[in-house]
Structure formats: structure tokens, C-alpha cells
Amino acid sequence: MQQLKTTLLNLELKRTELLTKYDAAYPLVQEVEKQIMEAKSSIANEESKPPQEETTDQDPTYMMLKSELARAQADLSGFRARATATNLVANQYRMQARNLEQLGITQQDLKLAEKTRQDNYLLYQQKREEARISDALDQRGILNVALAEQPIAPTFPVQSPARTASITLLLAFFVSLGTGFIADVADPSFRTPDEVVGYLEMPVLASLPRRTTE
């Protein structure tokens, strides 16, 4: 009787713990309820019997182990029921995940189709407006239309006259200097006796000044 009451107390504690996490219709809770009912039925049967003194040769250790085995089997049944319920919930979550993934793909396809139809509608509106304008121009005998734009003054870089004159003189100076240098280098004639000595490495016996005409 004491063992049955202890088992009943454990089952009631287990049911209280499960009710904090699951509903009363949960399979694991239903299994514990069934075990509680069986324990209460066993206690009621034992209480209905008159107390008797019996002498038995059963081993107390064996009886204790048997009771522990029964308790372990009850726990195992509860664990199996919990595993079954957990697998059921996991399968439901997997199905929901697959459905959500499929819905996401469908949503993407719908968005793409919506954008395509919107682009086609805008293109249709543009073509329709162009056709309307073309028909209106044909009715009035207008062959070509050009939009009048507001004239704008051309923009050129603004420079001061003094700066322009300075740049021009500087360029003329460098051009003159370069022209004179090129003409001097390209002229093969000797102008002074020193140039003859320097080029031929020979002494100059006589030199005649260049005759100028008056």
C-alpha cells in the first residue's frame, strides 16, 4: 500500500509538472492521467480487502527491485509517449517550414510577375500616348515637330587682355629663341677664325673681313 501511494504521489507530481508545459489533451499528460487512474484503482482494491497477516518467503530485496522495475517501466512509457509527441510536433514544424518556404517562392514569383506587368503597362501607356500624338499631328498635317528651347548664351573662358598679351609675348620670345638656335646650328659656314681652329684644329694663316656693300 505504501508503495502504491508513493507511486501515486510521484505520478501526480509528474502530471502537475507536465500541465505547466502542455495542455490537458497532450498525449503525454493523458498517459500520466491513465497511470494515475490505475494507481488509484489499485489503492482502492487494496483498501477494500481486510487486513491480514501473511507469512511469505519472498525476498524483500526482490520485491523492492520489482517495484523499481515497475516504476522504471512506467517512466519509460511516459518517455516514449513524450518522444512520440515531440516527433509529432517536430514533423508539424517541418511541414510548416516547407509550406512557408513554398509560400516565399510563390511570393517572389508573384512580385516578379507584378513588376513585369507594371512595366508592360507603363510601356503600353507610353506607346498609346505616342500614337495619340501622332494621330493628332497627322490630322493637322504636321510632319515634324521640334520643341522650342530657351536660348542660352554660350559660355567661354573669360580672360583679361593683360594676361593674354603676356602669354602671347612669352610664346613669341620662346619661338624666336628656338628659331635662332636652330638656324645657328643648321648653318655649316664658319664666321670667325676661332671656329676654324676649333673645328679643324689647324692654325689660321690669314683671314679676310666680310665685304659689305654700301
Give the pLDDT score at 52.
61
Give the pLDDT score at 59.
67
- From first CA to last CA, the distance across the chain in angstroms is 161
- Number of Cβ atoms within 10 Å of the Cβ of 47: 10
Give the separation between CA 7 and CA 42, rounded to whole angstroms.
11
CB burial string 180-211: b at 16+ within 10 A, e below: eeeeeeeeeeeeeeeeeeeeeeeeeeeeeeee
- Residue 127: its H or E element: helix 60-140
Task: Give the residue from 46, 44, 18, 40 showing the smallest Cα distance to 31.
Answer: 18
- Number of Cβ atoms within 10 Å of the Cβ of 28: 22
Give the separation between CA 38 and CA 32, rounded to whole angstroms.
10
Q: Which amino acid is at 140?
A: R
Q: What is the pLDDT along the chain (214 residues), one digit of tens a residue?
A: 678 788 888 888 888 887 787 777 888 888 888 888 888 888 888 777 665 665 656 667 777 888 888 888 888 877 888 888 888 888 888 898 888 888 889 999 899 999 999 999 999 988 888 888 877 777 766 555 555 566 666 555 556 677 788 888 888 888 888 887 787 777 666 667 777 777 777 777 776 766 655 4
Task: Give the residue from 32, 2, 7 showing the smallest Cα distance to 18.
Answer: 32
- Phi and psi, residue 141, nearest 5°: 75, 25
Give the separation between CA 78 and CA 17, rounded to whole angstroms.
13
Do the beta carbons of residue 11 and residue 35 sit within 8 Å? yes
Give the separation between CA 197 and CA 66, rounded to whole angstroms.
138
Give the pLDDT score at 65.
82
Q: Where are the domains of the chain?
A: 2-47+59-107
